[in-house]
Structures are given as C-alpha cells and as structure tokens.
Amino acid sequence: MSKLRAKVEKYELFCQKMNERSTVMRYSLATLAVGLAFGARLLLHPLLQDRLPLSFFLTGGILAALFGGFGPGLYALVFGFLLADYFFLPPVGSIGSYGSSEWVRLVTTILPGLLAISAISLLQGARRKLRVYTKQIAEAKEHLEQEVTIRTAELKASVSFLENFCYAIAHDLRSPLRAINGGATLLEEECAGQLNEESEAAVAMLLTGTVRMDKMIEELLRYGRLNHQETFLTPTVLNSLIRRVIQAFEADVDSARAKVIYDETSSEPVLVDAKLLELALSNVLANALKFGRKDTPLVVKIQVEEASNRVRILVRDNGIGIEPQYHEKLFHLFQQLEATPDKGMGTGLAIAKKAIERMRGSMGVESELGRGSTFWLEVMRAPRAEREALNERGPDPINLGRRKFDAPRPENKGVG
C-alpha cells in the first residue's frame, strides 16, 4: 500500500510539473498524443476495419488533459476526432458526411470525452488549490507553533517572576519587619515601668502594626501561590467533601453558638481540585460564622443545585447582610466592611474566589443589609463517563484523586 501511495504521489508531482510547463509545450504534448493515437489506430486498421474509430483518439484527448489541462485536452479531442472522421469513419476521405449510425456513434463518444476532460481539469484545479491551502495551513501551523513557544517562554518567565516575588516577600520584606518587632519587644521588656503613657502606647502600636503587617504578608503569599501553582481537576464527591469542611469547623460553630445545616441532596461528582474547593468552602464558611446578628441565633445552610453541566454550592446565612454596592468589594484583597482584628485580614473571600477561578468556576454573592447573605460557588460537573465510572467503583471519602497543589486550611480569618 505504501509503495502504491508513493507511485501515486510521484505521478501527481509529474502531472503538476507538466501543467506548469509553457503553453507551447503543453499543446505540443497534446499533438504528440493525437499522433500516437493516430499511428496506433492506423497500425491496427487492417484488424479493426471500421470498428472503434474514435476510441484511440478519445484516449489521446484524456492523456492530453491529464498532462496539459483542459485546453490541450479539448484540442486533442477535436483534432483527433477530425482525423478519425477523415480516415476511419465511413465515408472515408470526407468530413461531416455521416449517416444516422455515425452521428449516434460520434455523439456518444464526444460527450463522454468532454465530460472526462472537464472532470480531469476540475480535479487538477482542486488539487492545485488543495496544495496551496495545505501549504498555507503548514505555514500557519509553523507560525502558531512559534507563537506558542514564545508565549510559553513568556508564561514561564512570568511564573518565575511571581515565584521570585513571593520569595522576596517571604524573606526580604519580612526579615526587617521582624527585626522591628523584635526591637520593639526588647524595648518594652527592658524599659518596663520607665516609659510614660504616650511612649508605652507608641510601643504597643508598633508591636500591633508589625504583627498585623506580618499576617498581611502571609495572606498575600497564600493568594500569590494560587496564581501559579498547578491544579488537578478530578471527579470528586461533594457530600463527603462538604462534611469534612463542616467537621473541621465544629469548634468555631460552637464558639459562635451557631448551627450549620447541610441538605445532602447531591450525589453527582464534580470536576474540581478537592484541596482548592475545600479551601474555598472553608473560607466562605469561616466568613459566615463571623458576621451573625446579636439578636438572632446564627444559622448557616449549605445546599447544592445541579444544572446540565454545572453544579452550584450555596452557603446561606441569616447574618447581618451586605449592601449591594459592597458585593464586588468583598472579593478584593484586604477589603473589610468591619475593620476589627477579630474579623480577620480581609483576604478569605479573595482567596476563595481565586481558588474557584483556578478550577474554571465562578463565585458571587447575593445579599441585602439585615437579611443575611448567600454566597455561591459554581464548578463544573464531572463528565458522564467519569461519573458512571466513579459510581461503579464507589467514592473514596478521603481522597478521590492525586493532588499536586497542597493548599493549607485557612486560619478562620474571614472577611466582611
């Protein structure tokens, strides 16, 4: 089969080169094809007599069309039929003097010949266009590959920059900050009882500020890692994951005198990174537990809604609620509606949204002041084949897939 394909390719290349010859060369070849057809028919005339007077010339016209195109093929067909009419069609020695049978023979031969050379010409034109398009596609592919290589190199450079930037924050910036904190601590200890009230307040403010700044840098590092660390999306059972998150917050729920309700209605797996989804859901739950109303027991309800190819996790609470103009602000770094130390650093929801976006999902909030809030986390539903395979083998309640991204559990620093 490979040898036959190679021969066909050589033949097509030969035909292409012949079609690219000059007009004189192509018509000369057509004349040669007619001459060969005439010689062959003349040589076999004693044997054939008046049988097959046009077939040899029809073959010559087709060969001329193959090697020269439509024009030389038509020329060879007409020229050959004139020779056949004069030398082989009765009455011999005349042109255009036909009986009814000769007319039928002529028409039934010329029409297939015209169709044949037209089809050959169209096929050759289509092949030429195909070669041009193939060449253009190959060039575009090569250009695209070059662009991908360049963009990949730029992306790697960006990732390297982010990694170096995070390292600089973690070490170069935190080191002098800790030195300031250590100096202030030493000053407070060595000069205990010797400072006036204003000096003691200044030292306390310095200590508080450095501790808060260190925590902000830590949260910024956590947010930065989400941008460039690799994630793995695998089919994951929501019920077991949500239960793990709720269990991890039992102490916080008791401390807030709250109640967390989970309506286990979902059984379909989702396509997520379990560590990232657990991180996002933990941050949202931690945020809900911090903003209850003083006059009403806090109740947090977790629900799951399924669509055709998406799954939405809803975290509803009856807390203080949020005015609509602050909905977008909630998901920005270090943004707080209540700037109090016990409410966290203002990064929890920003980290949660970034984690969801890394899984090709989305996150938002619906809330009104005094009427509670509903945070929704929307992720992809696992493909049907993977859902069926997971249902057949049974879910692993601890870990449903390999994870390269090791996201730490948040320290319950939700935002408002």
Q: How far apart are CA 68 and CA 19, in angstroms?
A: 5
> Whole-angstrom Cα distance, residue 411 to residue 348?
9
Residue 56 burial (CB count, 10 A): 23
Residue among 108, 109, 17, 124 nearest 71 (CA)? 124
Contact 77, 114 (CB under 8 A): yes
Q: How far apart are CA 416 and CA 414, in angstroms?
A: 7
The predicted-structure confidence for 328-362, as pLDDT tens digits, reads as follows 888 887 776 665 555 666 788 888 998 999 898 99
Structure tokens at 248: 């991890």
Nearest to 74, CA basis, from 38, 32, 27, 40 = 27
Please give the pLDDT value at position 102: 67
The per-residue pLDDT for 405 is 37
pLDDT on residue 315:
92
CA distance 347 to 225: 14
pLDDT at residue number 409: 39
What's the token pair of residue 415? 């935002």
Bridge partners, 272 (sequence order): 234
Tell me the domains of the chain and their CATH numbers: 232-393 (3.30.565.10)
pLDDT exceeding 90 applies to what percent of the chain? 13
Interhelix angle 55-68/23-43, nearest 10 degrees: 160
Q: Are strands 299-306 and 259-262 parallel, antiparallel or unpaired?
A: parallel
- pLDDT of 296 reads 85
SS3 assignment, position 305: strand
* Rg, Å, the chain Cα set: 42
Residue located via tokens 């956590």: 222
Distance CA 302, CA 285 (A): 9
Q: Helices 55-68 and 100-167: crossing angle, nearest 10°? A: 20
What residue type is 305 in one-letter code? Answer: E
Q: Quick one: pLDDT at residue 411?
A: 42
Residues in the chain with pLDDT < 70? 1-21, 96-102, 169-170, 266-267, 336-345, 385-416
- Please check whether residue 34 is in contact with residue 83, taking contact to mean a CB–CB distance below 8 angstroms: yes
Which pLDDT value is given to residue 127? 80
Return the DSSP state at 291: -
Give the tens place of pLDDT for each residue, 97-109. 666 666 777 777 7
